[in-house]
Amino acid sequence: MDNKKQTLFVVLIATLITLAVDQGTRLGFYRTSCPRVETIVQSTVQSAIRSNPTMAPGAHTIGTAACALFSYRLYNYNNTNGPDPTIDTAFLPTLRNLCPNGGDGSRRVNLDPASVGRFDNSYYANLRNRRGVLESDAALWNDPTTQRFVQRFLGVRGLLGLTFNVEFGRSMIRMGNIEVKTGTQGEIRRVCSAIN
C-alpha cells in the first residue's frame, strides 16, 4: 500500500476516533509529542483494511463536526489564502456562512447535509458531488482506489454494488475486533511519552 493510501487510512481512523471522543485530532496532531503514533495506527488500520477493504467510513452519514476541524479548507487551504479546490464552488458559500472566517470554532456542522438525521448512503453522493465536509471524507472521492468503493456504495453501473446498511454493520463489527484497549487497560495520552 503506497504512502498516499496509508495516510488516507490514518486520517480515516483519526476522524472516526475524533467523532468518538469529540476532540480535534488530525494527521500530524502528535507529530512532536509522539512521532511514531501515526505509524502505529497505520499498521493497525492496514491490517484491518486488508481483512475487509469495505471498512470505509459511513458513520459520517450522521453527526456533526466543529468548524475548527475543517475551516482551514474554506479560507487558507495549504497556505494558499484560498479554499480547498476539491470543494464544490456552489457548496463553499454554505460552509462559509456556517463557519465564518475567525468565527466560533465550536459551532457544529452536519457531516451529511443532504440527509440530516437519516442513516443512509447519501454521504457517498455528497463525496461524488465534492461536498465532503472533512478533508478525510473528500479524499475518499479524490483517491482512485477508494473512489471505487464510493461508487460501489452509490451503485454505479459496471461495478458490483454494495448495500450500505449491511456493509456498515459488518465494518463496525470488524472495527470492534481491532482490540483497542478499554477501561483501565489503556488511555488516550495528551502527550504520548507521558502518562496523563
Average pLDDT over residues 100-118: 88
Cα 141 from Cα 73, distance rounded (Å): 16
By mean pLDDT, which of 76-80, 96-100, 112-116, 166-170 is the weakest?
166-170
- What is the tens place of the pLDDT at every residue in 112-128? 887 877 777 788 889 99
pLDDT of residue 112: 87
Cα 105 from Cα 129, distance rounded (Å): 25
Instruction: Report which DSSP code applies to 152.
Output: H
More confident of the two residues 90 and 6: 90
Domain ranges, residue 103 = 3-185
How many structural domains is the chain composed of? Answer: 1
Check which CATH number belongs to the domain holding 7 and give it: 1.10.420.10
Closest residue by Cα to residue 86 from 126, 28, 146, 27? 126
Average pLDDT over residues 40-60: 57
Cell digits of residue 36: 511514531
Burial of 74 (0-12, 13-18, 19+ CB in 10 A): buried
Q: Is residue 193 part of a domain?
A: no
Instruction: Locate the DSSP E strands across the chain.
Output: 64-66, 108-110
Average pLDDT over residues 162-175: 67
Q: Is residue 192 part of a domain?
A: no
Tell me if the pTM is above 0.85: no
More confident of the two residues 105 and 122: 105
Q: Is residue 191 part of a domain?
A: no
pLDDT band at 144 (very low <50, low <70, confident <90, very high): confident
Q: Is residue 194 part of a domain?
A: no
Q: Is residue 118 part of a domain?
A: yes
pLDDT of residue 120: 74
Query: Which range has the top average pLDDT, 8-22, 29-43, 136-150, 182-196?
Result: 136-150
Q: Are 136 and 8 in contact (CB under 8 A)?
A: yes
